[in-house]
Amino acid sequence: MANPPKARTLGGLKKSGYEVVTVKHELRKNLIRKIRKGEELFPGIVGYEETVIPQLENAVLSGHDLIFLGERGQAKSRLIRAMTNLLDEYIPIIEGSEVNDNPFAPVSKFGHDRVKELGDKTPITWLRREDRFGEKLATPDITMADLIGEIDPIKVAEGRYLSDELTIHYGMIPRTNRGIFCINELPDLAERIQVGLFNLMEERDIQIKGYRIRLPLDVYVVASANPEDYTNRGRIITPLKDRYGSLVRTHYPTQVAQEMAIVEQEAANFDGVGIPVSVPEYMKDIIGEITALARRSPDINQRSGVSVRVSICNYENMKSNALRRAIRLKEKSAVPRITDLQYLLASTHGKIELETVEEGRETRLLDELIKKAVLNTFGRYFNVQDLEPLIAKFDQGLSVEVSEVMPSRGYVKAMSGLAEIREATEKLKVEETPPAVASAIEFVLEGLHLNRRLNRDKVEGVYRYRG
């Protein structure tokens, strides 16, 4: 980040020719500049390039306060925080101001008194863009004092009159003056508190405890809301909703590739453990497909949504089990297998809500989703007819045993000399290492089983594939 400008007094700021603009004008100006330069507006946001981001750009250009409406795990908070990238790197404020007073036009009594007393010698400081973002999670116990402000009894005890503006302890919104303020889960905010935001949204000022204090704030107001909350647990009252200029609907990734791009960006890495963990593309596809199927399942409450966090946590758990196996078997690298997917229940539990509560239903449902995901993914990589020579070997008496604790070299040894399985695994373009080959073999065998071309028996954690 560049160093702040050198001006340290109001006089120096005047001489520099610096011009103060409103937050909405600032956002619009920087958005236009970034679009013209072809810069990435919101790094790390995947899958919104053709849907959400154009609507967000329109809202900023229009100067609209806005609401992001979407189910959990749709990057609403991340997108809002990323909007700070559209602010200037630094802005000048009167030094010591609690409400980021504009040196040319202060709004607080402190700012007015400071400029009146010191004139051009009024000291200023430069506020970073990161410090111009305020955020509050809406909960039923939030008070107007939290958001707007309250009389500070300590300041009264020091001898100030109640009518003196300097007795006020400002809330979060005034302290975010000349910045972006976000209210997360807005419908959960008590209706009487929502009413208290009317002036902020329309007249752009606030009132505290009935005192005749007018504090004309310059704040860009953003909110997030979940459609389920919108209709059940709480609601945004109509007059407040009307004051937001735009409502932008977010969504889950529409493609498995987008889902997995987010997962790889957000998932924990395993660097530094001494054992590299490599995930084949087909295993990534399976993780993404499980979530995609869950979002279409009639057995899962779609009003609550199926967050991208399901994919992230499943991906991490799958890699963790592969790493755990490699450590125990003293293998030099780790590659997830189909048999590792049985451990996804722990990372899925609690993240989906079933339509009907039934003992053991969640386990059975996840098992069905995994099987369907493997089947769908297998179909993208193979045509079963092309594997007829391999199926014929099983029909002639071949059988293969696999398990999540079986050493990788055991797979290579068991399938050595079988050209048909090698031809199949080569299509997957995996590394020529025993862990990678073992993973590919399991994928091929399970895919054939799910296509009803091989039988599979399970005995004490060992799966036996046969014709």
Helix ranges, 212-360 (H): 227-231, 238-243, 256-266, 281-294, 308-329, 345-348
Find out whether 207 and 199 touch, Cβ atoms under 8 Å.
yes
d(CA 357, CA 350): 13
* Helix pair angle (281-294, 308-329), 10° resolution: 140
Asked whether residue 222 falls in the same domain as residue 276, the answer is no
Residue 1 covered by a domain: no
Please report, in tens digits, the pLDDT of each residue of the chain (467 residues total).
Answer: 578 888 999 999 999 999 999 999 999 999 999 999 999 999 889 999 999 999 999 999 999 999 999 988 899 999 999 999 999 999 999 999 999 999 999 998 899 999 999 999 999 999 999 999 999 999 888 888 888 887 776 776 676 665 666 677 888 999 999 999 999 999 888 888 898 888 888 877 777 665 666 788 999 999 999 887 555 456 888 889 899 999 999 999 999 999 999 999 999 888 888 899 999 999 999 999 999 999 999 988 888 889 999 999 999 999 999 999 999 999 999 999 999 999 999 998 878 888 776 777 788 889 999 999 999 999 999 999 999 999 999 899 888 889 989 999 988 887 877 888 888 888 898 888 999 999 999 999 999 999 999 999 988 888 999 88
Asked whether residue 207 falls in the same domain as residue 353, the answer is no
Q: What is the DSSP string of 328-395?
A: HHT-S-B---GGGGGGGHHHHTTTS-BSS--TTHHHHHHHHHHHHHHHHHHHHH--GGGGHHHHHHHH
Return the amino acid letter for 120: D
Q: Which of 249, 271, 302 is the last residue of a domain?
A: 249
Q: Six-digit token pair at 352?
A: 């989906």
Residue 208 covered by a domain: yes
The whole-number pLDDT of residue 133 equals 97
Element (H, E) at 194: helix 191-195
Find out whether 15 and 103 touch, Cβ atoms under 8 Å.
no
How many structural domains is the chain composed of?
A: 2
Asked whether residue 95 falls in the same domain as residue 222, the answer is yes
Q: Six-digit token pair at 134?
A: 């305020």
Find out whether 345 and 289 touch, Cβ atoms under 8 Å.
no
Find out whether 249 and 224 touch, Cβ atoms under 8 Å.
no
- Between strands 66-69 and 246-249, the pairing is parallel
Residue 2 covered by a domain: no
The whole-number pLDDT of residue 212 equals 62
Asked whether residue 213 falls in the same domain as residue 284, the answer is no
Element (H, E) at 143: none
Q: How far is CA 180 from the centre of its chain?
A: 19
Element (H, E) at 91: strand 90-94
Asked whether residue 87 falls in the same domain as residue 121, the answer is yes
Asked whether residue 216 falls in the same domain as residue 244, the answer is yes
Q: How far is CA 38 from the centre of its chain?
A: 24
Residue 308 covered by a domain: yes
d(CA 300, CA 313): 18
The whole-number pLDDT of residue 408 equals 92
Q: Which domain holds residue 381?
A: 256-466
Q: Six-digit token pair at 202?
A: 């329309």
Find out whether 266 and 223 touch, Cβ atoms under 8 Å.
no
d(CA 74, CA 79): 9
Q: How many residues would you count in the chain?
A: 467
Residue 153 covered by a domain: yes
What count of other Cβ atoms lies within 10 Å of the Cβ of residue 421?
24
- In three-state secondary structure terms, 210 is coil
Residue 179 covered by a domain: yes
- Of the candidates 72, 73, 348, the one whose C-alpha atom is nearest the C-alpha of residue 229 is 72
Q: Which of 215, 249, 283 is the last residue of a domain?
A: 249
Q: Which of 249, 277, 311 is the last residue of a domain?
A: 249
Element (H, E) at 405: none
Q: What is the pTM of this model?
A: 0.85
Asked whether residue 193 falls in the same domain as residue 311, the answer is no
* Helix pair angle (388-395, 434-450), 10° resolution: 80
Q: What is the CATH number of the domain that holds 190?
A: 3.40.50.300
The whole-number pLDDT of residue 352 equals 85
List phi, psi (to 5°) of 171: -85, -170
Asked whether residue 50 falls in the same domain as residue 94, the answer is yes
d(CA 196, CA 184): 17
Asked whether residue 344 falls in the same domain as residue 317, the answer is yes
List phi, psi (to 5°) of 368: -65, -40
Asked whether residue 128 falls in the same domain as residue 205, the answer is yes
Residue 5 covered by a domain: no
Asked whether residue 33 falls in the same domain as residue 17, the answer is yes
Phi-psi region of 248 (alpha: psi -120 to 50; beta: other; left: phi over 0): beta
Asked whether residue 147 falls in the same domain as residue 291, the answer is no
